[in-house]
Structure 1
Amino acid sequence: MHSGDEPFTKVDINVSLVEQLVAIQFPQWAKLPIKPVTFGGVDNRTFHLGENMSVRLPSAQSYSAQVGKEHQWLPKLAPLLPLPIPIPLAMGVPANGYPWHWSIYRWLEGENAAIERIADLHQFAIALAQFLAALQRIDPADGPPPGSHNFFRGGSLTIYDADTRQSVATLENEIDTDAAIAVWEAALEAAWHGSPVWVHGDVSAANLLVKKGQLIAVIDFGCLGVGDPACDLTIAWTLLSGESRQAFRASVPVDSATWARGRGWALWKALITLVEHIKTNPIEAEKARYVIDEVLADAQQ
Structure 2
Amino acid sequence: MTMHDDQVDVTTEIVADLIREQFPEWSGEEIRLLPSTGTVNAIYRIGTGLSARFPLRLTDPTEALVTLEREARASAELARVSPFPVPEPVALGKPGAGYPMPWSIQTWLPGTIASDADPSGSTAFAEDLATFITALRDADTRGRRFTGEGRGGALPHHDAWMAECFEQSETLLDVPRLRRLWSRFRELPRTSPDVMNHCDLIPGNILVTEGRLTGILDTGGYAPADPALDLVSAWHLLQPLPRQALRHALSTDDLEWERGKAWAFQQSMGLVWYYADTNPPMSALGRRTLARILESTE
- State the TM bucket, normalised to the shorter chain: 0.7 to 0.9
Of stretches 283-292 and 228-237 in structure 1, the one that deviates more from structure 2 is 283-292
Q: Distance in 2 between matches of 1:281 and 1:86?
A: 25
* C-alpha distance after superposition, 1:180-238 (max 9, x if no partner): 33432332222223222111111011100011222100101243321113222222222
Give the whole-Å Cα distance in 2 for the aligned partners of 1:182 and 1:296: 11
Using the size of structure 1 for normalisation, the TM-score is 0.85
SS in 1 for 2:146: coil
Establish whether residue 136 from structure 1 lines up as the match of residue 133 from structure 2. Answer: no
| Number of equivalences | 292
Tell me the equivalent position of 2:290: 292
Matched, 1:257 2:266: no
Tell me the SS of whatever aligns to 1:90: strand
The separation in 2 between residues aligned to 1:56 and 1:131, in whole angstroms, is: 24
Identity fraction in percent: 30
After superposition, the Cα gap between the structure-2 partners of 1:278 and 1:93, relative to the gap in structure 1 and judged at 3 Å, is: closer
The whole-number CA distance in structure 2 between the counterparts of 1:280 and 1:26 is 33
Asked if 2 retains the 8 angstrom alpha-carbon contact of 1:86 and 1:219, the reply is yes
- Across the aligned residues of Structure 1 and Structure 2, the Cα RMSD in angstroms comes to 2.8
Asked whether the equivalents of residues 92 and 103 of structure 2 are also in contact (C-alpha less than 8 Å), the reply is yes
After superposition, give the CA deviation of every residue in 1:242-284 in whole Å (9 maximum; x if it has no partner).
1111011112354322221222222223333333466888776
277-286 or 250-259, larger mean C-alpha shift: 277-286
Q: In structure 1, what is the Cα distance between the partners aligned to 2:142 and 2:71? A: 16
Separation in 1 of the partners of 2:132 and 2:281?
Answer: 30
Provide the residue aligned with 2:80 in structure 1: 79
Quick one: structure 1 residues 196 and 54, their matched pair in 2 at CA, closer, same or farther if it must change by over 3 Å? same
Asked whether 1:165 is paired with 2:154, we answer no
Match of 1:50 in 2: 47
Structure-2 change in CA distance of 1:175 and 1:215 (3 Å): same
Q: Contact 1:179 / 1:296 at 8 angstroms: preserved in 2?
A: no
Amino acid at match of 2:268: A
Would you say the 8 A contact 2:75–2:222 is kept in 1?
Answer: no
Q: Indicate the SS of the match to 1:9.
A: coil
Matches within 5 A, 1:81-100: 81-100=82-101
Shift of 1:111: 0.7
Instruction: Summarize the Cα distance change of 1:35–1:142 in structure 2 as closer, same or farther, 3 Å threshold.
Output: farther
Q: Which one-letter code corresponds to 1:203 in the other structure?
A: L
What is the SS of the residue equivalent to 2:6?
coil
Select the residue among 181, 189, 192 that pairs with 2:190. Answer: 192
Q: Report the CA distance shift for 1:8/1:115 in structure 2 as closer, same or farther (over 3 A).
A: closer
2:117–2:208 contact (8 Å) kept in structure 1: no
- Give the match for residue 57 of structure 2: 60
Query: In structure 2, what is the Cα distance between the partners aligned to 1:174 and 1:14?
Result: 33
Tell me whether 1:239 sits opposite 2:240 in the alignment.
no
Letter in 2 for 1:155: G
Which shows bigger deviation, 169-178 or 57-66? 169-178
Equivalent in 27, 31, 41 of residue 28 of structure 2: 31
CA 1:160–1:173: 2 relative to 1, 3 Å: same
Looking at structure 1, the residues matched to 30 and 116 of structure 2 have their Cα atoms a distance apart, in angstroms, of: 32
**Amino acid across the alignment from 2:80:** P
Partners of 2:119 and 2:238 within 8 A in 1: no
Equivalent position SS for 2:244: helix
Q: Is the 8 A contact 2:197 2:222 kept in 1?
A: yes
Alignment of 1:118-129 (within 5 A): 118=119, 121-129=122-130
User: Does 2:15 align with 1:18?
Assistant: yes
Whole-angstrom CA distance in 1 between matches of 2:75 and 2:273: 35
* Unmatched runs of 5 consecutive residues or more in structure 2: none
Specify the code of the residue in structure 1 equivalent to 2:29: L
- Superposed, 1:172-187 pairs within 5 Å as 175-177=173-175, 179-187=177-185
